[in-house]
Amino acid sequence: MLRITLAGLLLHKGRFAATALAIALGAAFITATLVFTDSLDARFAAQAEGGADRVDAVALSAESGEPIPASRLAAVREAEQVAAATGTVRGRAVLLDRDGDALGRAPALALSAGGAVTRLPAAEGRLPTASGEAALATTSAEAAGYRIGDTVSVVGHRGAEHTLTVTGLVDFGLDAEAARRGAVAFAPQTARRVTGADGYAEIAVRAAEGVAPERVRAAVAGVLGDGARVMTGAEFGRMKAEEAGVQARTVGTALLLFAAVALFVAALVINNTFAVLVNRRSAETALLRCLGAGRGQVFAGVVAEALVVGAASAALGVLAGVGAAIGAVRLGAAVPQAAAVFGPGVDALSPVVQPESVLLGLGAGVAMTVAAVLRPAYLATRTAPLAALRDAAAPDAGAGVRGRAQRLRLVVSGGSAAASAAVTALGLAAEPGAAAMAVVAGGGGLAFAAVLAAAPALVSAVSRAAAVPLRGLGVPGRLAAQSARRSPRRTANAVIALAVGAGLITGYSVASASVQATLAHLMARELPADYSLLPLGAGTGTADDGRRLPGGLAAELRERPAVGKVIRVRRAEARIASGTGEGVGAGAVRVNAYPGARLGADLAAGTPQGELGDVGPGRMSVSKGEAERLGLRLGDTVSLTAEGVERDPAGGHAGDTAAGSRPEVRLRVAAVTADADLPAGLTLAPADFAKLFPDRERDDSLLVTGAEGAAAAQVRAAVEEVASAHPEVQVSSAAGQRDQFGRLFDVIFLVVAALLSVAVVIAVVGIANTLALSVVERRREFALLRALGLTAGQLRRMLAVESLLVALLGTTAGAALGTTFGLAAAAAAMPDMVPEVPAARIALFLAAAIPVGLLAALAPARSAASIPISSLTGQGAGEG
């Protein structure tokens, strides 16, 4: 039987070419995914363990965020299990570039470095030891162009500016905060002076000679009690690796999902190939049965063919996958945007090829091939020995599904569709998140199962409907429609393969566009202007540290033609003196006012209760979280008084608000706003804010929007020109943040679309394979058509129309399902989803189906056109 199997493979090697390509692509995808994910994991783990190796125990500030008191460091050092311990001061500071502007849109991480025990040695130069020295994160130094020996300035606690000399560069590796915002390190006393931080965020410990890490961990935990989380260095390393590895595992999981889809599509191609070959070789199989071959031998022969083809093709695919993964690793190290997708450290990736990845890729390819061939192998065992006496050109085993089988398929399809609707509704009703998305994805899988069951009937119906417009193409068009209708199952396999790939690409496009639109909408609420002007170093001090913008700055901006609207922002703290709500008077509250803005129009917010536009003199809004804390509801009234003494930036008091002279205003709750849309606290009308704080003359910040029709460059130039005259003002661009956000999504989309395109390539191979097998099966039909006068050109056009019909049907069905479930998945991912269908992108994809279909038909059409008329007698050329 083995000799017969090998002989069959050699005789029909041309028929297995497309199948081998599909298997190889699937195995390559699996292997490349595993190798790339292993490389990411190895990089992140190496970084984490490298830092952990330098310490025996690490104590972190408690979950509440409160630092470890500085006095506790001495107690840790006194423990007999401890040889040395160093505390790390951690806070924020604004790092200035060479032009004196803030580097980045958020204050950098500021911390102490050095000491007897440290996790972060200098990658270049040395750590700072004197008060006038600093070390920069390698990413920050690269962004600003700083080198060792340069002078750098930072703005720290209460807006104080410090000038220091760069003594070294530090690779912060897995620290996500440092990677996102940049970082600067100082000697301990300097760090405390710059940040204003009390206590330590972390204490690194080295164990005494002969003391195990577990013992020193227990000793430190006993000293610090509940005020800290203590772990061994190895435990800390694993934690950091897991934190960073989330990105690697998330990407790896997504890649494996796409690889599984590619394998599924390849399985459809393989199943179609072997089903046709088994049917075509029914006379051959019957002859073997006449010669004494049993059903088991026939079954084993077909499976053996699949094993040989699968093993050889999967081996080639594994080699290609390893090569592709190594190329992807090299590309990830070279492309700056790769870190946005895969996380920090991707630029130092090294390829990691584990034996398990190679074996899994090879095994997946072979297992998928064998699984796909089981049904055709079973059908081959049902060939009767007397079939050897019949014409070899038996009808297509998949043609004309009729009667009970067809009704059964429709029942299965209907049941799957109903189950899909129920599961999807369940996912949409659940709390938005990963679990809800998984449920919706399950509903999408059931929907594809419904289409798979109904595909032959769908092909027949579409072929009948397409017969009328295809008449305009003449004889080739009419024959193409009839051919698809005669063999609906054969055509349906190719349609499904393409629909899966089309559905995934369309679904991801719709889901990503909807998520992007939703986040852009939320960002527009949170950042309602194109530019924000803030006092230099804002956000590094207390809620109100006395820093204000220069007076008259808003008027200067309004004079610029490119500037449209300028909204002044004022914030302070007040106290609720009395009120009708439950729990009022519970400490200080933050109050906000926006002179120059129409609330509900210029500044929008979600309002679970009331309307933001109703805020006016005597009426306020309250953020949802603050309303719950204070027990306030719509319609409640409160009396506010100024809290403490208002400080003036120049020193002294802006006004005496001692207990006997505090202004007081009485306000009614007109709206409750969503926490994410407006700053926490109470939003007052400007007149009420002025009553509470009559001596406040300067703004906390300004929100600037460009004039209608003004170019973005003009708006930016106008804002920067005004701000440049005031060194104490920093500019933050919301437009830049939105652009960066959009570019990140574009990068992610391109990565995933490239991966999904592999499934589409396999599907196109499936179309070509279906047509090629059709040519083999229909040799006599084509020869008869040629004998009746059909020219070679008409025959080629007929197959091109068939391919085009399959491509359009597959992409249309996939696009419809993908759009539906893409919207559902997006709604399950986030609350208050803004649906977005990228019509242009989907239309472009559908339009690409035309050249794809024609391309898939080229080789089969050329083969069909070369069939000689002598094939009518079975004496023609071989079947290839």
Residue 681 covered by a domain: yes
d(CA 81, CA 218): 9
What's the pLDDT at 840?
83
Average of per-residue pLDDT across 694-702 = 86
Average of per-residue pLDDT across 548-557 = 87
Residue 633 covered by a domain: yes
Residue 601 covered by a domain: yes
Residue-wise pLDDT for 217-274, tens only, equals: 999 999 998 878 999 987 887 676 565 544 455 555 555 666 666 667 667 667 766 7
- For a pLDDT cut of 90, what percent of the chain falls above it? 14
What's the pLDDT at 148?
94
Higher pLDDT, 423 or 524: 423
What's the pLDDT at 518?
76
Residue-wise pLDDT for 791-828, tens only, equals: 778 777 887 887 778 778 888 888 888 899 888 888 88
- How is 488-508 classified by DSSP, letter by letter? HHHHHHHHHHHHHHHHHHHHH
Residue 713 covered by a domain: yes
User: What is the domain count for the chain?
Assistant: 1
Residue 106 covered by a domain: no
CA atoms within 13 A on the CB side of 740: 11
What is the average pLDDT score of the chain?
A: 76
CB proximity list for 25: less than 8 A, separation 6 or greater? 262, 266, 317, 758, 761, 762, 765
Residue-wise pLDDT for 104-152, tens only, equals: 656 888 999 988 888 888 888 999 999 999 999 887 887 778 999 999 9
What's the pLDDT at 193?
92
What's the pLDDT at 659?
44
Is 90 exceeded by the pLDDT of residue 216? yes
Residue 286 covered by a domain: no
Residue 145 covered by a domain: no
Q: 656 is in which domain, residue-wise?
A: 551-725
What's the pLDDT at 323?
84
Beta pairing, strands 619-623 & 664-673: parallel
Is 70 exceeded by the pLDDT of residue 492? yes
What's the pLDDT at 377?
81
Residue 510 covered by a domain: no
What's the pLDDT at 798?
82
- Distances in Å between the alpha carbon of 827 and those of 67, 431, 505, 835? 39, 10, 18, 8
Backbone angles phi, psi at 251, to 5 degrees: -65, -45
604 contacts 525 by C-beta, under 8 angstroms: yes
What's the pLDDT at 480?
74
- How is 40-74 classified by DSSP, letter by letter? HHHHHHHHHHHHHTT-SEEEEE-TT-PPBPTHHHH
557 contacts 722 by C-beta, under 8 angstroms: yes
d(CA 604, CA 596): 14
Is 60 exceeded by the pLDDT of residue 745? no
Higher pLDDT, 763 or 3: 763
What's the pLDDT at 352?
77
